[in-house]
Amino acid sequence: MVRIDVRSERARYPVLIGPGLARRLPELLTLAEASQTGVVVSSPAIWNRHARRLRRPAGFGPAALVPDGERAKTLATAARLYDECVDRRLDRGATLVAFGGGVIGDVAGFVAATYLRGIALVQVPTTLLAQVDSAIGGKVGVNLPAGKNLVGAFHPPRLVVCDPELLGTLVRREYRAGLYEVIKYGVIASPALLGRLESDLDAIFDRDLAALTPVIVECCRIKADVVSADERESGRRRVLNFGHTVGHALEAITKYRRFRHGEAIAYGMLAAAQLSVARGSMTGAEAGRLQKLIERLGPLPAVADLRSSDALSAIRRDKKVVDGRLHFVLARGLGATAIAADVTERELTTVMTQIGMT
């Protein structure tokens, strides 16, 4: 088991990484000083697939199952979970365990942050994307029709449990979606991680734990380091949004039906790389290396029928707009970033055209 501690101004909590950890949940809750009474929140598909791999404490009743996917990441889903909490008479000492992918983690985390003004949250992510990214950092929330994550809170978990064995049954497309997020970490902070992906991609695709676990550990270390320095995204944490400006817009204008989150971020990274090249902070060769690695993961959904003007409208509503100025993450080569607050809509239109939009 690998332990990585996240130290933020609001909380300190461990991220535990290792095969079989989901079966040790009661023991790990004790380690994190979390209550053995509460509820597991999951989706029907995840629960049917993985319930036997998660050992629940005796004080937990049946799992609370809600729909999964970005279209279910809504206030209505949160309301269903509030009702579950009330029906189960959960008090402020209860623990809510999010057992699923990023959507389950975000919605369950939002409920934990707001029910009784906050109860303990434990994240047990079951997708690669959630293990390397969304389960860490305390960002929780839901979508509105106008855009992604427009309602939310910062609510650090008491504990994050990353069990790579849970990834063995992920469908290939969902697994690939997580690998795009891994690429993001390589671009923003670790050229060595990019090199590991390039050299070990076959073994990583095969879910070989010896190849996969160090990748998860490296991403978690980077995320923990960034979050510890800037929990509330007032500065350094913005680097984690590399690829997310255009990516979130693609998700919004397709009503969360076409793209897995990682797929949309892949397009967003390609657009950000093109803008970085145009502004001189990244070479064409570096952008080409990024594009080649993204292409090696497999085909992305089409974007030729999507209009850049629609995406621009979504970007104007993005939460990364502060005082009317968009904070856009550019790449400085491979392994570093810069934040630009002067990116024009003309520049955005150009790079969206370059990735295939109209």
**162 - beta bridge partners?**
17
Report which residue type is found at 29: L
Active-site annotation holder among 155, 248, 260, 263:
248
Query: Is 73 among the residues known to form the active site?
Result: no
For residue 290, give the nearest of 301, 306, 304, 276 by alpha carbon.
276
Query: Is 223 among the residues known to form the active site?
Result: yes
Residue for token digits 């369950």?
108
For residue 219, give the nearest of 197, 245, 251, 252 by alpha carbon.
197
Active-site annotation holder among 70, 84, 174, 181:
181
Query: Is 27 among the residues known to form the active site?
Result: no
Q: Are 61 and 39 in contact (CB under 8 A)?
A: yes
Active-site annotation holder among 50, 139, 184, 238:
139
Query: Is 184 among the residues known to form the active site?
Result: no
CA distance 79 to 138: 20
Query: Is 237 among the residues known to form the active site?
Result: yes
Query: Is 117 among the residues known to form the active site?
Result: yes
Strands 120-125, 59-60: pairing kind: unpaired
Active-site annotation holder among 241, 260, 263, 286:
241
For residue 171, give the nearest of 205, 208, 144, 137 by alpha carbon.
205
Query: Is 327 among the residues known to form the active site?
Result: no
Active-site annotation holder among 244, 251, 260, 286:
244
Active-site annotation holder among 148, 176, 184, 261:
261
Active-site annotation holder among 218, 233, 251, 263:
233
Query: Is 7 among the residues known to form the active site?
Result: no
CA distance 5 to 123: 14
Active-site annotation holder among 237, 251, 263, 286:
237
Active-site annotation holder among 73, 223, 238, 260:
223
Active-site annotation holder among 52, 89, 117, 346:
117
Q: Which residues are catalytically annotated?
A: 117, 139, 181, 223, 233, 237, 241, 244, 248, 261
